[in-house]
Amino acid sequence: MRRQTIVVPETAQGRVDRFVADVSGLSRSYVQKLISEGHVTAAGSAIKSNDSIIPGWILELEVPDPIPLAVEAEEIPLSVVYEDDDLLIVDKAAGLVVHPAVGHQTGTLVNALLARDTEYGGIAGVQRPGIVHRLDRDTSGLLMVAKHDKSQASLMAQLKARGVKKTYLGLVLGAVAATTGRIEAPIGRDPNHRTRMAVVPDGRESVTGYRVRERLGAWTLLELDLVTGRTHQIRVHLAAIGHPLAGDPVYGNGTSRRGPEGTTTLFLHSWRIELQSPTDGHIIRATAPLPPALEDVLNGLRAEAGGFMGVAPHQKGEPA
């Protein structure tokens, strides 16, 4: 059990749950749970989450030791491209499900993370890695994992404020006309197919930026900036503008679903990520090269074209 005494300053105001979350670094939902269980008191008296904070209060916060996660650790190959005391950034392989769920209780990224010699300080009272965002099963590349509550709260706040810069590489069908562009189209549940997402008038604001990285005949390799983070956002947006991703079985058409010769999975890769350290705010940057299978697809297209069809001027070689 970890205990902390918090003296409320004279300038404090607002709800008690929000104040305690800000001071402790715990998530607000976990603080609400602790308050409901009597682990946060004011001068020994019980309080409620929606109570107004009172300057001069002396709050006692008790954080129980985290309980083990009821998920089996599994030795699954895992590429870690960055690690510190706060977080991991892993390069997820295509085909790897991120979190255990119905139909995928084993063989997930979480199972693999638990098998590492890593100390997880507890996320909302459970000793587990903190998954703050996800990648589709068939999308490869970079994914952040928090090691403790404070880190998770920081990463989630950065994501909400659009402070995390995430750039993907995607191969799309067709010659994308504009060298750079921005897709702004609301995304929500497809009214005709409830398991899919779609551009719909009453959907949530969704923004994707793109730059042409390489033109390869009937295909275009794009760099894609995920400004917002809606479910299947990149896949939906690209299909909506008539350039579906290669190898996409859900949002593609016949040609794009098959992809160029050698395509065996969705051609979408989380390539670069930039964020602030939860501890001191310094900038953390990580990149992950395309998996060999995706690079082979590009090399096949280059060979067909007799060399590069056209690369954005600033992106010959290593991108700027």
Q: What is the DSSP string of the chain?
A: -EEEEEEPPTT--SBHHHHHHHHH---HHHHHHHHHTT-EEETTEE--TTSBP-TT-EEEEEEPPPEEPSS-------EEEEE-SSEEEEEEPTT--SS-BTTBSSSSHHHHHHTSS----BBTTEES-EE-S---TT-EEEEEEESBHHHHHHHHHHHHTT-SEEEEEEEEES--SSSEEEEE--EEEETTEEEEEEE-TTSB--EEEEEEEEEETTEEEEEEEESS--TTHHHHHHHHTT-PBTT-TTT--HHHHH-STT--S--EEEEEEEEE-TTT--EEEEE-PPPHHHHHHHHHHHHHHTS-S-B-GGGSSS--
Nearest Cα residue to 31 out of 67, 2, 62: 62
Q: Establish whether 280 is a catalytic residue.
A: no
- The tokens describing 105, both together, are 């209780």
Nearest Cα residue to 88 out of 96, 80, 97: 80
**Catalytic choice (17, 86, 91, 136):** 136
- As annotated, the active-site residues are 136
